[in-house]
Every structure is written in C-alpha cells, then in structure tokens.
Amino acid sequence: MCGSWWSSAAVTHGLIALFAMGSWISVNSLWVELPVVVSVLPEGWNLPAYLSVLIAFGNLGPIAVTITHHCAPGRLNERLVIHCIQLLAVAASALLAVFWSHTVTIAGEQRSLPFLLFTFVLSLVCCTSNVTFLPFMFRYPPQYIRTFFIGQGLSALFPCVVALGQGVGKLECKTVNGTVKPHHLKENFPAQNFFAFLCVMLSISCLSFWALTQRQTESQEEAPPEESGGKNVDETHPLQNGGTPVSEEQTPSEEQPPAARFWTQRNIYLLLLLAISNALTNGVLPSVQSFTCLPYSTMTFHLSVVLGNIANPLACFLAMFVILRSSAGLGFLSLGGGVFAAYLMALAALSPCPPLLGNPSGVALVVISWIIFTGLFSYVKVVIGTLLHEAGHAALLWCGISIQAGSLIGALTMFPLVNVYHVFARAQECVDSCS
C-alpha cells in the first residue's frame, strides 16, 4: 500500500513541480526584495543595475554546459550537475540570509560585496537550470513537462506572496511643513527572514529532486523487461504507473533524432517563438512594469505582479488538458500576447501620465493586460516545451538554450534604455506630475 502510494502519478507530479520551483525562485526572490535591501545597502537604487549585470554573467553556466554537450556528447552527468548546483544554491542562500547586509571597503567606498557575490552564485544556478533541468525531464513522459512549467510558475508566485505578507513597498503620504512627502512603512519581518524562506524553498526543491532520483532507481530495480511497441503508452495513458521515468542507459540511442532531422523549419520556428516569448516575459516587460503600473497606484503594481504570477501556473495547468499543436495557432496566441505587450510598452512610454489616469477603468485595464499577457505567453511556452519534448533529449537542451538566450537578449536590450538613457520616466511618489 505504501509502495503503491509512493509510486503514484500524483506524487510524481508534486515532486516535479517542487523540483522545478527551485529553477528561478532565487532571482525572482532577489527582485521582489529589492525595495527592502536598497534602503540598507550602499549602492541604493543602483542595485538593480548591478543585479541585471550579474544575471547576465550567470549565463557563463549555460555556455559551459552547451560547450560540454558539443565537445563531449553524452558525457555530461546531468544528475550530478543538478545535485551540485542545487546544493550550491542552498549554501549561497543560507549565507545570504546571514551576511546580506555586510559591507567591505573597496577603493575607499563601502560596497555590499557579500550580497553581490551570493547574488552572482544564485544567478549562475538559475541560468544553468534552464539547460540542465529541462533535458533531465526527457526521462519522463510528455505530460510531466507541463507540470515542470507549473513549478516554474510557482517560483515567481511564492516570493511575491511572501513579499506581500512582508509588506514590501508600503508607504503613506504625509504632509510635513506644507510639503507632501512619502513615508515608507516598516516591513512586517526583516530581509534575513525572507532570505531564510528562500533557503527553505531551495532545500525543498533539492530534496524533491533527490526523491525523484530515488524513485527512478527503485522503479528500474523493480520494473519488468520492456515490451516492444510501447513507446506511446505513457502519452496515451498519462497516469499509468505514475509515469515511470527511464535512465540514460534505458533510453535507446536510435530514438534520438539526428541533428539533420531535428533542425526542421517547424522546430526552428518553435525555438524562435520560444526565444521571443521569453524575451518579452523575462526581459522586456518586467523592466518596465513599474512604469506601467506605479502612475496609477502602488496597489495597481502589486495586483499586476501577483495576479500575473497566478496566471502563469494556471495557464500551465490548462496545458495539462488542452495542447494546441498548430504552428499557426501558437503564432496567433503569440500575436495576441504581443498586442497586450505593445499596450503595456505604450503605457511605460507615456509614464508618468498614461491614459485613464485617476479612472478605475485605467487600473482595471492595466491589471487585466498583465494577466492576459502573462497567461498567453505562459501557455505558448509550455506547449512548445511539450512539442520539443517529443523531438528528443537534444531538443530539450535547445529549448533551455532558447529560453535563456531570449531572456538575456530581452534584458540586455532594455538595460541601457532604462538605466543609461532613461527613456522611461518614473512616477514620483506622492507627487501629482500630470495636473
């Protein structure tokens, strides 16, 4: 009875979701906690610029993994790499919780070197997860790739919910000597508690992956010899036997599509669509979210962040039951998401005086736009991941590379526009700039 429960499909789905949650929860947590740490660290509001650069340098991990796959095909032990980066993330988050506020003197100036160092380590882990976690998922039937993307959605939702409970960014306008000034309210708990929460979440993800590998080992020891012609059984009956994974040794090499067969027009189209989707959702639009929402109110910003992050796993959950395999259909959904992305970019460009300012319909429109934009592209990404899973292990590696490349290009494109040339004007707190 106990063994049957442990090997059930529900447990597999739960473990995969918790495993995937650890992929980007570190970077997402750092971003949502910025309003708290900038008030303590000497870099102040220059810290987001440092964070963007460190995340860019985190792409050294995916580059190293990709070069290894190219120079030594089949020699990289994905399990070992995942175990190592997960343990590294747990250690870095634990040290971050203790030393995040410590500073050192460099060239006569105070610098938050410990915070920046641990941020780089966590960024390296997050970036590397895209090219290690996804290829590992090839061992499981296709329906589990949808669960994986649900878990990735939770990596953004959980930090936002905790940050809301912490009271990040709450302020009230007070009149001092006839001048209205913003007064930031004290958080409900300090940043070290938030980073401790991050350490716990990463530990849960690490233990979930360990449990997955243990269940995989047990299933290989107990499984009877495979019968021929059973290649599509798991997709036809997705919950049969809990979707027992296979190991590298059990995966026949002839099932892996040759490179010439993989690089079809359709697969190239899917990879480009995936890169564009991630450029928008992970790079371009997050860089201007504050410009699109804060002119309306701080509550508008919080609603957009939280409800958008709820839309992400919900869209992935929908993909568990409805898979749109049409290339034209995926392109149509992406075009629809692009329309809402264009509207949000227009709001950012018009900040601090966007249309319908002071009107409840303006607030509703911007929040709904963020929800639909996030939901559409989340669905497109999980469907493309599912389709590429069917193309083989190498396809999932290129899936991760496309996700990371798109996110990097989007972030690097927006960084000079926002932080160097200041193309977008930020709304000032407690100041009416449009009257």
pLDDT tens digit sequence for 384-396: 999 998 888 889 9
Cα 257–chain centre separation: 28
> Is the Cβ–Cβ distance between 13 and 109 less than 8 Å?
no
The residue that leads in pLDDT, 260 or 29, is 29
Please provide residue 167's backbone torsions phi and psi, each rounded to the nearest 5 degrees: 85, 35
> Is the Cβ–Cβ distance between 388 and 395 less than 8 Å?
yes
Cα 194–chain centre separation: 18
Candidates 391, 371, 151, 152; CA nearest to 270 is 391
Mean pLDDT of the 21-25 span: 94
**In Å, how far are 24, 69, 167, 273 from 385, measured between CA atoms?**
17, 20, 35, 11
The residue that leads in pLDDT, 56 or 264, is 264
> Is the Cβ–Cβ distance between 142 and 390 less than 8 Å?
yes
Mean pLDDT of the 306-329 span: 90
* pTM for this model (two decimals): 0.82
Show the tokens assigned to 259: 């490179």
With a CB cutoff of 8 Å and minimum separation 6, the contacts of 31 are: 51, 286
Mean pLDDT of the 320-348 span: 95
- Reported as a pLDDT band with limits 50, 70 and 90, residue 383 is very high
Give the C-alpha separation, 406 to 273, whole Å.
10
Q: Given a cut of 80, is residue 81 above it in pLDDT?
A: yes
DSSP assignments along 280-327, one per residue: IIIIIHHHTHHHHHTTT-HHHHHHHHHHHHHHHHHHHHHTTT-----H
pLDDT number for residue 245:
62
Q: Given a cut of 90, is residue 98 above it in pLDDT?
A: yes
Mean pLDDT for all residues in the chain: 85
Give the C-alpha separation, 250 to 140, whole Å.
12
pLDDT in tens, 30-61: 988 888 888 889 888 678 778 877 887 888 89
Candidates 22, 32, 29, 84; CA nearest to 196 is 29
DSSP assignments along 32-60, one per residue: HTHHHHTTTSTTGGGHHHHHHHHHHHTTH
Work out the number of other CB atoms within 10 angstroms of the CB of residue 245.
23
Give the C-alpha separation, 12 to 333, whole Å.
30
Collapsed DSSP state (helix, strand, coil) of residue 241? helix
Please provide residue 227's backbone torsions phi and psi, each rounded to the nearest 5 degrees: -95, 145
Whether the bond into 352 is cis, omega within 30 of 0 = yes
Cα 155–chain centre separation: 6
Mean pLDDT of the 313-327 span: 91
Q: Given a cut of 70, is residue 235 above it in pLDDT?
A: no
pLDDT number for residue 327:
94
Paired with 314 in beta bridges are: none
Give the C-alpha separation, 218 to 208, whole Å.
15
Give the C-alpha separation, 373 to 339, whole Å.
8
> Is the Cβ–Cβ distance between 356 and 313 less than 8 Å?
no
Mean pLDDT of the 64-68 span: 91
Q: Given a cut of 70, is residue 238 above it in pLDDT?
A: no
Q: Given a cut of 50, is residue 255 above it in pLDDT?
A: no
pLDDT in tens, 121-137: 999 999 999 899 999 99
> Is the Cβ–Cβ distance between 352 and 427 less than 8 Å?
yes
- Reported as a pLDDT band with limits 50, 70 and 90, residue 237 is very low
Paired with 176 in beta bridges are: 179
With a CB cutoff of 8 Å and minimum separation 6, the contacts of 399 are: 134, 271, 274, 384, 385, 388
Candidates 109, 140, 174, 173; CA nearest to 11 is 140
Mean pLDDT of the 100-116 span: 91
pLDDT number for residue 208:
96
With a CB cutoff of 8 Å and minimum separation 6, the contacts of 309 are: 153, 156, 157, 160, 374
Please provide residue 366's backbone torsions phi and psi, each rounded to the nearest 5 degrees: -70, -40
Strands 179-184 and 171-176, sheet pairing = antiparallel
pLDDT number for residue 279:
92
Mean pLDDT of the 151-178 span: 85
pLDDT number for residue 221:
55
Candidates 126, 30, 194, 150; CA nearest to 408 is 126
Q: Given a cut of 50, is residue 231 above it in pLDDT?
A: no
Mean pLDDT of the 258-276 span: 86
Give the C-alpha separation, 114 to 116, whole Å.
6
pLDDT number for residue 218:
61
pLDDT number for residue 226:
45
> For the chain, how long is the longest CA-to-CA vector?
83
Give the C-alpha separation, 47 to 345, whole Å.
23
Q: Given a cut of 90, is residue 234 above it in pLDDT?
A: no
